[in-house]
A and B are shown apart, each in its own frame.
Chain A
Amino acid sequence: MDKKEIEILELLEKNGRMDVHMIARMVELSVDEVEAAIHKFEEMQIVHGYSTLIDWTEVRGHEGVTAMIDVKVTPIRGKGFDDVAERIYRFPEVKAVYLMSGAYDLSVSVEGKTMSQVARFVSEKLSTLDTVISTTTHFILKKYKHDGIIFGEDDNNDRRMPVSP
């Protein structure tokens, strides 16, 4: 991967909607070259998609809840944690699953409309899996920053004087 390709990835990571013409100008490549690079990233599964970061707490009636669940599991012989993880990540309400070092094994992020919906998922779906030894559920009270973006930060916070030497 060359320097300019890395730059394209960094730009897209910050703004998935950035126009290819704009990217081309910023990294000094042709539009065709940028399109080819992006196509390559998609083929190689370096780019997995272009989602939008939404602060649902600002959308009335759709606030929802998110829980981070620490899960201890018994790994399966010959398959380690992968099979267990898959049984968990296949559930659509599960937004993220990570294998962790330390006191527990899997960190599972779950989104639901209400706390009881998430609680039901934990008690009925997650805890009941054979390989799951224990779960500890933490509800997120407030999101300050997500994926590098600070929520609620004013876009027009330029405090500079309009003209200066």
Chain B
Amino acid sequence: MSLDTSRFIAEHVDALKPSGIRRFFDLASTMDNVISLGVGEPDFVTPWNVIEASYHSLEQGYTAYTANAGLMELRELISDYLKTTYSVTYRPADQVIVTVGASQAIDIALRAVLNPGDEVIIVEPCFVAYASAVSLAGGVPVSVGTKAGNGFKLQPEELENALTSKTKAIILCNPNNPTGTMLNREELLPIAELVEKHDLLVLSDEIYAELSYEADYVSFSSLPNMQDRTILISGFSKSFAMTGWRLGYAAGPAELIQAMTKIHQYTIMCAPTMAQYGAVEALRSGSASVEHMRKSYRQRRNFVTSAFEEMGLETNRPGGAFYIFPSIKETGMSSEAFAEALLIEEKVAVVPGSVFGESGEGYIRCSYATSMKQLTEAMKRIKRFVEKHNA
């Protein structure tokens, strides 16, 4: 008899639901010639100058640890970048930390602030990791669903209804994965008022901020009185096409960043050194390559939005990120059934909206971070699929 090793697993880990994306990944990866709109990362390769700078750092023998909070040079560049781009000021010495992707920044931010039982508001549909990250940090995730009728924008009254005496923080992702929704200043201000009124902290996930296509991006931290209540989280993955480098950062009040650095120092030491040197180059040189990618995403967004409208699938017009979240309610299928049938019948992989929270049911997430050639073919196939199943 082999040992039942599962009994060693901690109960709170055992209780975590595996990500719904996983199942689709397993299914899609067994099939050939699949066009995938299921990918949550850029189709561009990291800009060459960034790759080259990282090579160079390795050649020069920069292979040791860096300071726990990251290279000072990189923190200074992040601080400059946040100042020039979003008009928010952070001291490189104690208000910025370089992390292993924005994901780790979310993790250590939650662990640094949550006491057991503290509630954290999660605005759904959202990135699949938030709720689990809250649970793992001992907190209690509380979902607030947004509605397509409001363009998936968080309504202040919906937020206020979900607040209790135990609410400690809100995780806001703007622009949003999976809906592509972007909140502008006017839409953020009433949320900021509630945050102040109820003495809350905001974990502002701004990883897609560079990919906004309409209005200028407003960082939550730049709103009146919000800098002391915001941990701004971002990184290099989406804007510089550096997902595999695993490099993100957080900026916030010194006490909080120092608390996060404590966890970081004991669990990670520091973010990978060669990735940090790549990021230094990215920030020094970056805006041209970011601009090129943003333009390309915007064109693809325009294309897919009109393609879905033409198919008769109701859809929001995404303001940022590289996702579109059309409704498939017309077909009468659940989003999971739709995604599975689409994959099997037409070999197009999309992610069922239900994976991102209950309010995502009836929608699918399509990433347009894919070549125009692939997108054109994918839209053709989805159209054929929808026509067949609507009939």
Contact = CB atoms under 8 A, between A and B. Distances in A.
A12 B349 CA distance: 30
B36 interface: yes
A11 B302 CA distance: 14
B225 interface: no
Contact of A25 (B129, B295, B303, B351): B303
Nearest to B25: A163
Which of B29, B177, B295, B372 lies at the interface centre, i.e. has the most chain A CB atoms within 10 A of its CB?
Answer: B372
B38 A26 contact: no
Contacts of A163: 21, 24-25, 28-29, 36, 38-39, 349, 351
Interface bracket on B: 20 to 34
Contacts of B24: 163
A27 interface: yes
A161 B27 CA distance: 12
Nearest to A26: B299
A26 B302 CA distance: 5
A162 B25 contact: yes
Contact of A165 (B28, B40, B306, B376): B40
Interface string A142-160: 0000000000000000101
Contacts of A7: 295, 299
Interface residues of A, number: 15
A27 B25 contact: no
A99 interface: no
B307 A164 contact: no
Contact of B39 (A10, A25, A28, A162): A162
Nearest to B339: A163
B34 interface: yes
Interface string B286-313: 0000000001000110110011000000
A22 B372 contact: yes
A22 B375 CA distance: 11
A15 to B, nearest CB: 8
B26 to A, nearest CB: 9
B310 to A, nearest CB: 9
8 contacts: A10-B295, A27-B302, A158-B43, A161-B29, A162-B29, A165-B21, A165-B127, A165-B129
Interface of B: 19, 21, 24-25, 28-29, 34, 36, 38-41, 43, 127-129, 177, 295, 299-300, 302-303, 306-307, 349, 351, 372, 376
Interface of A: 7, 10-11, 22, 25-28, 158, 160-165
